Amino acid sequence: MSHFPALHTIEDLASFYRRYSVATFTADEPLYTVICERVTERHDVLEIIAAHDIGARQPNLLLNAIRFLTLQDPASGLAEMLTGELTEEVGERFCDLVVARRGEVDHLLANQRTQTNEVGRAAPLVLAFADVAASVSEPLGWIDLGSSGGLNLLLDHFAVTLVGDDGSVVAEIGPSDSPVNVRCDVTGVVSPPPKPAIAWRMGVDRAPIDVTNPDQARWLEACVWPSRTDRLERLAGACELVRRHGVEVRPGDAGGLGQIIADAPPDTHLMITTTWVWYYLDDVTRAAAFDAMASAGRPITWISLEAPGVAGMPVSPSQRDALRADASALIRADFDGVRPVPEMALLGWAHGHGTWVDWTAS
């Protein structure tokens, strides 16, 4: 069973685009809200989207496709997809471009998936890794599910600055001369976390991105919202680090996690991370990945940054009402290698792209 809306009719699809765009783009990328609103009114564009499988009907994917085509050939694309500028009738011109370049759009919707690879997520991960390291004696091993280009596998090479709600610097982690500078507003962090000491690491992705390939690197750029120049700068820096140091990202999906766990060094405490990945998995794949962690015969810590309620910890209506609209749950789940059910703890809440963290763990 897919966790996307059923979208049985064109009306369902239009309603989904409207709800999703308001919730996701209004604050951070108004251009995309305007475009999605016009898409909901264009039956011809909705028909193009509806011709694809459920996973390809996500608003982000269509937006990424047109942004990719514009990056590839700015003269024949939509200039606003490079700048984020709101201009007159931009939604209409976006829709016209989808129709005019349907063959290319269809190819991208059928063969690509949104691969944000947001390196800003390094900030909540650094905090979570410090929490794990403080509770185990072994060096840390790490499997990152949905790793895309493997950029975050090098988070110990990033310069991460945690800033308190009074504007003071809580911690500076990593090399100061890094080409990747991540700034995160934090509350609840009482002591500076150490730089992660990772002894072994591996990425896994259904379609790994090779950032040394210009077209594949361009797709990663297309997945970044156009007005977020800070994210684009971090992406460029992270790609530079991957080219310099290299990373290993194995083709595969969460359903094959058991074999990858078996390949991890036995003398490490193994962490598995999902950052806005679990949401996109169907029930069968989720169950296979969960069973692989539970039956591994070794202690494993699963760190997830997912939408509230997605990764196994229910959220009550009162909790949900009190959350920021852009909050994701940062959860630690410890499998002891014996019992099938992990011990779960909410570490805090964070923006899905890591711009802020509200740390609530003691």
**For 322-346, how does the pLDDT look when each residue is reduced to its tens digit (9 = 90+)?**
888 889 999 999 999 999 999 999 9
In angstroms, the CA 108 to CA 106 distance is: 5
CA–CA dist 23, 27 (Å, integer): 8
Mean pLDDT, range 300-318, rounded to an integer? 89
Structurally, the chain folds into a number of domains equal to 2
Residues forming beta bridges with residue 345, ordered by sequence position = 332
Gap between the Cα atoms of 262 and 298, Å rounded: 10
Does residue 15 belong to any structural domain of this protein? yes
Per the domain annotation, does 162 fall within a domain? yes
Least confident of 78-92, 95-109, 290-304, 306-320: 306-320
Are 246 and 315 found together in one domain?
yes
- Residue range(s) defining the domain that contains residue 305: 119-359
Instruction: Reply yes or no on whether the pLDDT at 5 is more than 80.
Output: no
Q: Is the pLDDT at 362 greater than 90, yes or no?
A: no
Among 69, 84, 111, the domain-final residue is 111
Q: End of a domain among 60, 93, 111?
A: 111
Give the separation between CA 205 and CA 207, rounded to whole angstroms: 5
Whether 1 maps to a domain, the answer reads no
If asked whether residues 175 and 70 sit together in one domain, one would say no
Whether 229 and 277 share a structural domain: yes
Q: Which pLDDT band, with edges at 50, 70 and 90, does 37 fall under?
A: very high
- Is 107 inside any structural domain? yes
90 and 128 part of one domain: no
- In-domain check, residue 271: yes
Q: What is the CATH number of the domain that holds 160?
A: 3.40.50
pLDDT of residue 43: 97
User: At 341, is the secondary structure helix, strand, or coil?
Assistant: coil
Residue 163: inside a domain, yes or no? Answer: yes
Q: What percent of the chain has pLDDT over 90?
A: 83
Q: If pLDDT is split at 50, 70 and 90, which confidence band does 114 have?
A: confident
- Over residues 258-286, the mean pLDDT reads 94
Residue 349: beta bridge partners?
329, 358
- 4 in a structural domain: no
What is the band of 131 on the pLDDT scale with cuts at 50, 70, 90? very high
The strand pair at 343-351 and 327-335 is best described as: antiparallel
pLDDT of residue 279: 86
pLDDT of 147 over the 60 cut: yes
Same domain membership, residue 225 and residue 90: no
Cα dist from 14 to 5, 42, 68, 319, 322, whole Å: 12, 9, 23, 29, 28
In a domain, 2, yes or no: no
Question: Are 301 and 355 within one domain?
Answer: yes
Scanning 159-200, the segments in alpha helix (DSSP H) are none
Are residues 124 and 226 part of one domain?
Answer: yes
Whole-number average pLDDT of the chain: 93
- Please indicate, yes or no, whether residues 205 and 327 belong to a single structural domain of this protein: yes
Assign 117 a pLDDT band (cuts: 50, 70, 90): confident
Same-domain pairing of 100 and 149 = no
Q: Are residues 188 and 81 in the same domain?
A: no
Do 250 and 280 touch, CB atoms closer than 8 A? no
| In a shared domain, residues 165 and 74 | no
Residue 137 has pLDDT above 70, yes or no: yes
Give the burial class of 44: count Cβ atoms within 10 A of its Cβ; 0-12 exposed, 13-18 middle, 19 or more buried.
Answer: exposed
Among 95, 111, 127, give the residue marking a domain's end: 111
Q: How confident is the model at residue 1 (pLDDT cuts 50, 70, 90)?
A: very low
**Structure token pair of residue 316:** 């009550």
For residue 322, the model assigns a pLDDT of 82
Are residues 270 and 127 part of one domain? Answer: yes
pLDDT exceeds cutoff 70 at 2: no
Residue 28: its pLDDT value, please? 86
Cα 176–Cα 180–Cα 182 angle in degrees, nearest 5: 85
Q: Which pLDDT does position 3 carry in this prediction? A: 56
Is the pLDDT confidence value at 24 over 90? no
